[in-house]
Amino acid sequence: MKREVIAESAAMREVLSFVRKVALSEATTILLEGENRTGKDLVAKTLHYESPRQAEPFIAINCAAIPETLLESELFGYEKGAFTDARAKKRGLFELADKGTLFTTGSSSGASKASRRKRWTCFWRTTGRETCASCATRSNGR
C-alpha cells in the first residue's frame, strides 16, 4: 500500500523533500516540534515509511493519555514479579518497536514530568537495538 502525504504549497513540498532526505539518513532519534494539529504525526509516518525501516513496526503512543505511574512500564516493559500485579513478563514499546519506529506525543515542553518523558523516548541508549524514536512536542514559542 502506498502511503503519501499530499502537499500543494511550495513550503510544504520543501518540508516533505527534507523529511524524505532525513528518512534515508542514518538518524535514529528525531525530535519533531510544532503547534498542535500541524501534522507532526504525518511527518513521523512519512519518516518511517520512506526509510529502510518501513517493513518494521510503526508504534505511536500518546504519553499524555497514560497515567504517570504506568508510563515507564508501557515504554520499557517489566519482568514477572517486578511488582505486585506483574504476573507475566511484558514487553515494552521500545522492544516492540525494535528496528522500527516508536513515535511519542502528548508531552508539553514546559513541565518537568513531560521533560522526563521526552528524555525517556528521545535520548536513550541500548545495545544491539536499532529502534528509531521520534518524539513530538508542542512549540514553546522559540
CA 75 to CA 120: how far, in whole Å? 8
pLDDT at 75: 87
pLDDT at 72: 84
Lookup: cell for 122: 528521545
- Would you state the CATH architecture of domain 28-138? 3-Layer(aba) Sandwich (3.40)
pLDDT at 26: 84
With a cut of 70, which residues of the chain have pLDDT below it?
A: 1-2, 107-142
CA 42 to CA 106: how far, in whole Å? 15
pLDDT at 35: 86
pLDDT at 124: 37
pLDDT at 111: 35
pLDDT at 136: 57
Cβ partners under 8 Å of residue 37, min gap 6:
none
**Under a CB-based contact definition with an 8 Å cutoff, are residues 34 and 47 in contact?**
no
CA 130 to CA 100: how far, in whole Å? 7
pLDDT at 2: 62
pLDDT at 112: 36
SS3 content of the chain, % helix, strand, coil (to 5): 35, 20, 45
Q: Around Cβ 75, how many Cβ atoms within 10 Å?
A: 22
